[in-house]
Chains A and B, each alone.
Chain A
Amino acid sequence: MCYGSFKIEHVRSHHQNVATPEDASSARKGISLYRFFPQAVIRNMVCASSIELKRLNKGGFGFWSLRNEFLIWSCVSFLIAMMMLGFYGVSGLVFFIAQSFVAVFLLETVNYIEHYGLRRNQRENGTFEPPNPNHSWNYSSFLTNMILFQLQRHSDHHQKASRPYQLIRHLPDAPQLPASYAAMILLAWLPPWWFRIMDKKVEQYATG
């Protein structure tokens, strides 16, 4: 889907920095999806490159190395794109790139929903409190949780990212969305309505 930086950023930054300004995938309160999306994608790639470069430098390798995960995933995307071009010509390539854009846009819309407006408290020395269930939005509806492997039970997913999906728990005290992801995605596409509904919810959870 042409998003070679996603895995690196998600595993090695998002799960550590969630709900802080340092996380490319956590949206602050008051930002619309359309402002969040381009900066989330750019920051994702910048963040992934710098994490990966640091790791490579430690092992004595440079950016242009076959050990660079960002490059490997980008090569996979490029290979699929070339197969599309070979099999179906320019229309195949256009189709592949366009559907990738839709997929990435939807992915970032879900990132936007999952942590919108939730922030970890900063300590006096500048570090942040550890992530807790208050830093993700949840919804335990049956059908969407079956289709998405219980992704909507998001707080518990962040408590332990390696927990098998079938064991992810519903945490009743964590922030709860008013509806399942599909409805929330439609709402996120309409910022004035999103702010009207979600900003109230954010304040509700911020004040306890």
Chain B
Amino acid sequence: MISGTSEAKTWIPIFALRRVSFLLAFSPYLLLYLAVHFGSRSEFKNLWMIFPFAVIFIVIPLVDWFIGLDPANPDSDQEDKMKHQLWYTLLPVLVLPVQGFTLFWAAEIYHSAELGRYGQIAWIVSVGVVGSSVGITSAHFRMLEA
């Protein structure tokens, strides 16, 4: 359990931590780039294509389980401060160009990386999972803003 969930004095660090940590929304995209980076230098190129999928479905739930729950809620003062900050507004907006660029880059990789059948399938699954998790979630929040 992350400390300071209910004591009024200690709740500030968790919101500061979260503020920065929302950048992790871009980490699934990074996994795709890492997979290609390491895959192109490895003799197990096809196996590396499943790396993003494996991290998302194995490492992330384990880390979640290890860190424990983070149930803190902002109080109304904190909410007022957080409500209109450009930083929070910008993050999901930036996901769209990253998603768009990554999708075409990923197609280029699919087209040119000379992957085997299983490597191709693994790449399709990894790209689909990343786009679905972060791309759709950010778009989903933006379409409900109005």
Contacts and interface: CB of A to CB of B under 8 A. Distances in A.
A146 B107 contact: no
B128 A161 contact: no
B9 interface: no
B128 A102 contact: yes
A167 B79 contact: yes
Contacts of A15: 144
Contacts of A180: 60-61, 64-65
Q: Point out which of A103, A147, A164, A183 has the most chain B C-beta atoms below 10 A from its C-beta.
A: A147
A179 B64 contact: yes
A10 B107 contact: no
Interface string B50-72: 00000011001101110111111
Interface string B117-146: 000000011011101111111101101111
A95 B60 contact: no
A102 B124 CA distance: 8
Contacts of A140: 69-71
Interface residues of A, number: 51
Interface string A164-194: 1111011010000001101101100000000
Interface string A74-110: 0000001001100111011001101111111111000
Contact of B136 (A11, A80, A103, A170): A103
Interface string B4-21: 000000000000001101
Secondary structure of the B contact surface, majority rule: helix
Contacts of A148: 25, 133-134, 137
B132 A146 contact: no
Contact of B124 (A7, A11, A98, A186): A98
Given A146-B21, A161-B144, A141 B67 contact: yes
Contacts of A186: 57
A16 interface: no
B38 interface: no
Contacts of B127: 95, 99, 102
Nearest to B111: A88
Contacts of B125: 102
A102 B132 contact: yes
Given A161-B144, A186-B57, 10 more contacts: A10-B143, A84-B107, A95-B127, A96-B103, A140-B69, A141-B68, A148-B137, A166-B82, A182-B56, A182-B57
Interface of A: 1, 7, 10-11, 15, 80, 83-84, 87-89, 91-92, 95-96, 98-107, 140-149, 151, 161-162, 164-167, 169-170, 172, 179-180, 182-183, 185-186
